Homo-oligomer: A and B are copies of this chain.
Amino acid sequence: MSKIVTFGEVLMRLSTPGFSRFEQARQLDVTYAGGEANVASALAYWGHHTAHVTRFPDSPIGRSAAQYLHFHGVDISNIIYGGPRMAVYFLETGAALRASQIVYDRVNSSLATIDPSELNWDEILKDANWFHWAGITPALSQGAADACLAGIEAARRKEITVSGDIFYRANLWKYGKKPSDVLPALTAGTDIVIANRENIKEIFGIDGNDFIESCVNLKKAFPQVSRVVDTKRTSISATHNLLRAYLWNGTSVLETPDIDINPIVDRVGGGDAFIAGLIHGLISFNDEQKALEFGVAASALKHTIEGDALISTVAEVEAIRQGETSGRIRR
């Protein structure tokens, strides 16, 4: 199995129980999650050595967050402690025609206030063969952006595969930089880009007549990029979605059939599970189509599990990939 290193903010997730609204909740379910850490925990359940890098406040809350990742099997030895506070997100789970709702409270978090020199990437990436980052990290602060770039550059030096989920949230980016100022340098060091045509256009000003042409043009600007991956979600309701994915491999676009998910138990983390599945597939199978399908199957399975994290075995995902979705009891 491989060693995969992920980097990004981990937030305390406070979600209302069942379908209750924020106003109604007198209890909140608490876990700790973040896009990149979700990738790490899914991969850890499948037997990979995964290490997540982040920064937590030096408090019982920060230590509880690290311990929660440890529970999921993630190596927490590279987590650093300091800074003012734990990022938080509040989640209200919707149903039917009522959308789920997320309220972020991540200003001034311990990761946003990181000094990039606190991380020794050459040490962290020792023995690693994969590094994963996402576009939310450089949106947090200059320090976070610099730390992310330093990680990518170290990975490049070590010839480690780099994947980047360049989806950026437009309403972050409050420290004076725009996505187009920062993401190109990060993308330049990245092998596998998770992005759709709109992202590519908005961030890099690169377009094409279709997804494949956008990818070709992206590679012209960023020659390190070898694959571009995208998922497509058809949202029938908050509790009923269809899911498929696309992968451009430099030559053609592979595609998966839709998986029908009804009812959805917890949609959050679905995209991260896809990335985890894709990484597992690309590492483990010599078959890009199968890897892509494994990613979609992992994502679909995640939608049936409470919390951001995909808790599963390889066999469970593989069964779904092969179409065993009838839900018959396993004894």
| Chain A residues within 8 Å of B, Cβ to Cβ | 14, 17-31, 59-61, 63-64, 67, 70-71, 73, 84-86, 88, 90, 92, 94-105, 107-108, 169, 171, 235-240, 259-265, 267-268, 300-301, 303-307, 311, 316, 320, 325-331
Contact = CB atoms under 8 A, between A and B. Distances in A.
A239 B26 CA distance: 24
B263 A96 contact: yes
A119 to B, nearest CB: 22
29 contacts: A14-B30, A19-B305, A21-B305, A22-B63, A22-B64, A26-B26, A26-B30, A59-B103, A61-B103, A71-B71, A85-B107, A96-B262, A96-B265, A96-B327, A97-B259, A97-B320, A97-B327, A98-B301, A100-B330, A101-B330, A101-B331, A102-B330, A169-B331, A235-B328, A236-B326, A236-B327, A237-B325, A238-B328, A240-B327
The 5 closest A-B pairs by CB, nearest first: A238-B327, A97-B325, A98-B304, A71-B71, A235-B326
Given A23-B60, A102-B331, 19 more contacts: A19-B265, A22-B63, A24-B307, A26-B31, A27-B29, A61-B90, A61-B105, A88-B88, A94-B327, A95-B265, A95-B327, A96-B261, A97-B301, A99-B329, A102-B330, A235-B328, A236-B326, A236-B327, A239-B263
Counted per complex, copies of this chain come to 6
A306 B4 CA distance: 35
A330 B22 CA distance: 14
Contact of A20 (B95, B238, B268, B306): B306
A327 B239 contact: yes
A60 B22 contact: yes
Contacts of A29: 26-27
Nearest to A106: B85
Contacts of A262: 96, 237, 239-240
Nearest to A29: B27
A304 B95 contact: yes
